[in-house]
């Protein structure tokens, strides 16, 4: 039987995936499944491609979740998010699609993602998606990204 981390990308050279569909997200056991807590990932330089114009889109992603049995392995998350650089999708599709993929993988108690996108055509588009309800004993801080005022 293989060691639990043997097949993961962690600790190994990993080529950047060409697309989100090719990216592999790894999960690891939650060392504290009996103690609810919030984990946060912030991706301040997220990029994707406009599916119509082919121009780059830039945003800040903030991912908050209360783990159940699983944690997302951070290197695999970094590679997965980086795979969007050449991926054509609207802001809503990127944000909600990432959230759904992580919820499917992790089966968290609670999950939310905020996509804070920089303006295209003069209009910023912020996208928010949530799965489940935050437990009452969880500190759920503000995501820390100000409403658009020339960020």
57 catalytic residue (yes or no):
yes
CA distance 112 to 131: 6
User: In the chain, what percentage of residues exceed pLDDT 90?
Assistant: 82
Tell me the β-bridge partners of 42. Answer: 62
Tell me the β-bridge partners of 130. Answer: 112
pLDDT for the residue 30: 97
**72 Cβ neighbours under 8 A, 6+ residues apart:** 25, 26, 27, 41, 102, 105, 106
Decide yes or no: CATH 3.40.640.10 for domain 27-131: no
**What's the predicted TM-score (pTM) here?**
0.92
**Selected catalytic residue, list 50, 64, 93, 94:** 50
CA nearest to 128, candidates 149, 143, 108, 106: 143
The answer on pLDDT for 1 being more than 50 is no
94 catalytic residue (yes or no):
no
**Selected catalytic residue, list 57, 93, 94, 126:** 57
Ordered by start, the domain boundaries in the chain are 27-131
């Amino acid at each position: 039987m293989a060691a639990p981390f043997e097949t993961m990308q962690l600790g190994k050279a990993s080529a950047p995936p060409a697309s989100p569909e090719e990216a592999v997200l790894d999960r690891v056991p939650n060392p504290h499944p009996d103690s609810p807590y919030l984990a946060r990932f912030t991706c301040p330089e997220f990029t994707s491609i406009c599916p119509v114009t082919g121009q780059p889109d830039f945003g800040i992603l903030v991912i908050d979740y209360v783990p159940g049995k699983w944690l997302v392995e951070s290197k695999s998350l970094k590679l997965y998010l980086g795979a969007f650089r050449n991926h054509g999708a609207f802001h809503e599709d990127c944000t909600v699609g990432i959230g759904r993929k992580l919820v499917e993988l992790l089966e968290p108690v609670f999950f939310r993602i905020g996509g804070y996108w920089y303006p295209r055509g003069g209009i910023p588009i912020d996208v928010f998606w949530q799965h489940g309800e935050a437990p009452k004993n969880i500190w759920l801080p503000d995501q820390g990204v100000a409403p658009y005022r020339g960020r």
